[in-house]
Amino acid sequence: MYCLGLLSACSATQKITNSARTATEQLLLSEAISRSLSKQIYSPLPMPKGAIIKLDVTGLTPDKDMAKGVVAAWLGLLGYTVQDGAEKATHRITL
């Protein structure tokens, strides 16, 4: 019984990314996007707080999903809700 518990804890899963970029390139890209966004949490955007936003990303490299995630996290910090579908969205942002 002890051996079975020990063997089950030894397995590890790995998530392989589909990006053609190296880990360093991905880090540099995400840092560049993060630094380009306003650091002021109370910076005014022309939308009411709590608005539901549809975020579209076009014209970027194949890493657009990562860029979308960084911007969505920033909008979440500002008090907005980002969703994939446009059904209940009150505003749309296109990057």
**Helices 64-77 and 23-36, interaxial angle, to 10°?**
40
Mean of the per-residue pLDDT values of the chain: 77
Contact by Cβ (8 Å): 89, 83: yes
- Residue 29: the pLDDT is 83
Could you say which DSSP state residue 48 is in? -
- The single residue listed with the structure tokens 């966004």 is 37
Residues 6-50: pLDDT tens digits?
Answer: 455 555 566 565 667 788 888 888 888 888 877 766 666 788 888
Residues 55-66: pLDDT tens digits?
Answer: 888 876 777 888
- Residue 46: the pLDDT is 80
Count Cβ atoms below 10 Å from residue 60 Cβ, excluding itself: 13
- Residue 7: the pLDDT is 53
C-alpha dist (Å) from residue 18 to 21, 22, 39, 76, 77: 9, 11, 30, 25, 27
